[in-house]
Structure 1
Amino acid sequence: MLKKIIFSLIFFSFILTAVGCGLGTPSDSVISSDVDFGKKDYQKVVSANNQLGLDLLSIAERDQNGNIFISPASLFMALSMVYNGADGTTKEEISEVLKIKGIDTTELNKANASLITSLYQNSKSVQIRIANSIWINEDFHFQPEFSQNTQDYFNAEIEEIDIFDSKSAEMINDWVKKSTNNKIEEIVESPLNPDLVALLINAIYFNGDWKFEFDKKQTKDRTFYLNDGTAKEVPLMSLKENLPYLETEHFQAVSLPYGDEEMSMNVYLPKENTSLAEFEKMMTNSNWEKWNEDFREEEGTVMLPKFKLQYEVLLNETLKGLGMPTAFKKTADFTKMVEESGPLWINSVKQKTYIDVNEKGTEAAAVTSVEMVTESAPANRPFYMEVNRPFFISITDNLTGTILFLGSISNPQEL
């Protein structure tokens, strides 16, 4: 019996496969044919995107159950938009994290447009949507070139918002829900950060039916062994079929295709003599590419857990550790993003993901948000004060200055 196995990397493998086999946008939002880019320009960034995912895997935080489920493609596109507004050291550091040194901004934009357009899928069996949006504080204005590039090459929707209006957060979250088929319902909270200048968001939604569906009658509860040595009962789906298969001294792997094989989920199962942590260290870009070439079709049976997972991570420290600390400082250089002078830096990079694996197929979504802030809000803005924690009060006679009452309210009650 295989023991001490968790499937966080299985989830990760799916996202990498999606990047390599079929990311796109709905037919009504494919990059305009008027935009200049080459059909195969995406080849310049696929390896960089996959490397970003592997880098994230090595240092991203695990959830309370020890799982990781990330979307390197969503983060790559979000940071690519941010890259258009960066300059100097800030730009150099972002290029280091994205692994795009030697690729200028125009080439990067064309590669992203090519990726979205060339890998678009919207068949009966596989649907993928990629959406980008940028929300700017109405007191600020984007540099014309930044605005034009993000609209042309990323098909980004640009919206001005009143950050003190509660409906603004609602609008942003509604966009996220719509872009992920209601699988991710919220990326911002109300009220919005009063120092918010701009919010850049990428959303990816995937829904794919297995080429070979699992028979629901074969799904049975079986023992699943956790990392700490304990066990639990989980529903395992079962499939007997000719499938691309790979086995080494350290792991077994199978590739489960969707639809007409436009995409697939690669499932890697470390052997008993190899821990999942040890296997993750083997996940280099060169190994990933070699393993993909080594799959051979064989007849066999695969048993896969039926599961749903939601994951959320703040990537600030992760991205600083990967080499872009300056972008999170007041000294960051984003002079190519907005017209107004003054400091502008990244306050947070957040990603939320969702996946549902069942007998019919897989549904998955990811949203990445990059919050840009400034040092202080422009003058004459309305303030926002929500008294939602212990507070202090005084009642004073204004003529004499006499204090009549003082109160420290930790737990307000109604009589």
Structure 2
Amino acid sequence: MFRRKMKSALYLCLLIFGLQVQGQHKSNLNDEQQEQKILHSPEGHYEADGGNLAHVKIAPSNADFAFRLYKQVREEAGSKNIFFSPLSISTAFAMLSLGARTNTLSQLHKGLTFNLTEMEEQEIHEGFQRVLQLLNDPHREVQLNMGNALFIDDQLELLQKFLDDVTNFYHSEAISSNFQNSSQATKEINKYIATKTRGKIVDFLKSLDPDTMIVLVNYIFFKGYWEKPFNNLATRDEDFFLDAKNSVKVKMMHQNKVFNIHRDETLSCWVVEIPYKGDVTSLFVLPDEGTMKQVEDALLKETVSTWMQSLEKRKIYLDLPKFSISGSYDIKSLFEKMGVTEVFSDQADLSGVAESTLLKVSKAVHKAMVDVSENGTEAAAVTVIEMVPMSAEFPPPPHITFNRCFLMLIVDKITHSILFLGKIVNPAAKED
């Protein structure tokens, strides 16, 4: 053990996962569940906890971080799809910051866009604590789980304050592991990840660095049902344009209903809100041809806030492709380009984590997946006949067809958090 302590740094590895699954069938709430839903509405929570709004204080910083990271990812993604969970990544690094000190801590705060002149360090952690409480509420209608775990080498002694803080603020599990038996530890971590992501992410970790002492895992799992499911009988093969010359065939879903929409003439794009049941919503942003870059450049919390406030109910013809995509990212490399370097170097000061052991982060990786579909297998078994007046509509409903590159945001309305953020360049692309 002494030999290991003499090394310049022992390794801490961060594994961060985000998984959004579009439900394949509708769930019918029985009377008892309906009653529970009413009893446990967000308003009820607010009153019950005396108006704990710690999560509201960190929301602007988390949004700034999301769009800043998106722009960094975009530089490297080229013509690939983008999909990640900014909240999952910021939560993992905020939890790690509990053990950071001096300049390492300052860089983490700056990288996560937290300004300590506007809020105290304690308030950051209280904010994440509240986000976790609200996201994991079992009475929510959406299936939403977020959690953290620390796999700790059984020869490493963590400081009690760090253990107490990660358990209290981040509801983290602390799991003792024998990293000397690297293959067994890898197997154990992979099993945990597979369980928490409902079997969607398996055998993610191929191997561990021989000097690894801690593995920090953060995961977020969301399964939602559209408020207005698409009828899968209307889904058909259509072209999705990758660029001016190339296209792929996709399964295009169709709806002719009232949605909240906004036409942003300044940025030349359509914004369509497609809500899920239960206080989570998605924004689909369709830039006009040739304007994706200007929309991406304008992606800021102020822009999205303006979009949300400008939404108006309007009947539209909506075409949206089914897609199942994933993204894998080297967060260490992205953070270093954003100026967060020290925590990954031999200068790292993570002295608040463990007793008399020098630690640095050797690896930080993120994988996220999304699966969007009609949510209508039960709907196909019933016959629904909709009748509308035959009067001509003035102006006629706009036809918004997502048949070229578009953006997608999934926002939790209760915590004001961007759960997922992505750019769909090719809905038919195979998973990486």
For the criterion TM > 0.5, the same-fold answer is yes
- 1:288 Cα shift? 1.5
For 2:342, give the aligned amino acid.
Answer: T
Alignment of 1:11-410 (within 5 A): 39-60=52-73, 66-102=80-116, 103-122=119-138, 125-165=141-181, 166-190=183-207, 192-227=208-243, 229-249=245-265, 250-260=268-278, 262-274=279-291, 276-341=292-357, 343-360=358-375
- 1:282 Cα shift? 1.2
The 3 A distance-change label for structure 1 pair 110 and 37 is farther
Distance 1:81 1:225 in 2: 41
- 1:153 Cα shift? 1.1
Distance 1:220 1:354 in 2: 24
Report if the CA contact (8 A) 2:327-2:368 is conserved.
yes
Distance 2:143 2:211 in 1: 37
Q: SS at the partner of 2:329? A: strand
Distance 1:116 1:228 in 2: 44
For 1:56, give the aligned amino acid.
Answer: L
Deviation track 1:224-275 (CA, whole Å, cap 9, x = no partner) reads 1103631111111011111110112210110001114x1111100001241x
Q: Which runs of 5+ in 1 are unaligned?
A: 1-11, 16-26, 28-35, 368-415
Distance 2:126 2:140 in 1: 29
**How much is the aligned-residue C-alpha RMSD, in angstroms?**
2.6
Q: SS at the partner of 1:181? A: coil
Q: TM-score, normalised by structure 2?
A: 0.72
- 1:164 Cα shift? 2.6
The 3 A distance-change label for structure 1 pair 115 and 193 is same
Report if the CA contact (8 A) 1:242-1:299 is conserved.
yes
For 2:254, give the aligned amino acid.
Answer: S
Q: SS at the partner of 1:211? A: coil
Distance 1:185 1:179 in 2: 10
Q: TM-score, normalised by structure 1?
A: 0.75
For 1:151, give the aligned amino acid.
Answer: T
Report if the CA contact (8 A) 2:135-2:146 is conserved.
no
- 1:142 Cα shift? 1.0
Distance 1:129 1:95 in 2: 25
Report if the CA contact (8 A) 1:37-1:113 is conserved.
no
For 1:68, give the aligned amino acid.
Answer: I
Distance 1:153 1:319 in 2: 23
Distance 1:37 1:157 in 2: 28
For 2:186, give the aligned amino acid.
Answer: A
The 3 A distance-change label for structure 1 pair 84 and 187 is farther
Distance 1:69 1:228 in 2: 23
Distance 2:272 2:78 in 1: 27
The structure with the larger Rg is 1
Distance 1:346 1:227 in 2: 40
The 3 A distance-change label for structure 1 pair 150 and 354 is same
Q: SS at the partner of 1:210? A: coil
Deviation track 1:286-342 (CA, whole Å, cap 9, x = no partner) reads 11111111111111121111010121110112111212111111011000011123x
Deviation track 1:151-184 (CA, whole Å, cap 9, x = no partner) reads 1111100011111322211111111111111111
Deviation track 1:10-64 (CA, whole Å, cap 9, x = no partner) reads xx9x99xxxxxxxxxxx9xxxxxxxx99721001211111111101111116558
Q: SS at the partner of 1:45? A: helix
Q: Which runs of 5+ in 2 are unaligned?
A: 1-17, 22-39, 41-48, 377-407, 411-418, 421-432
Q: Which is bigger in relative contact order (C-alpha 8 A, separation at least 6)?
A: 2
Distance 2:310 2:166 in 1: 38
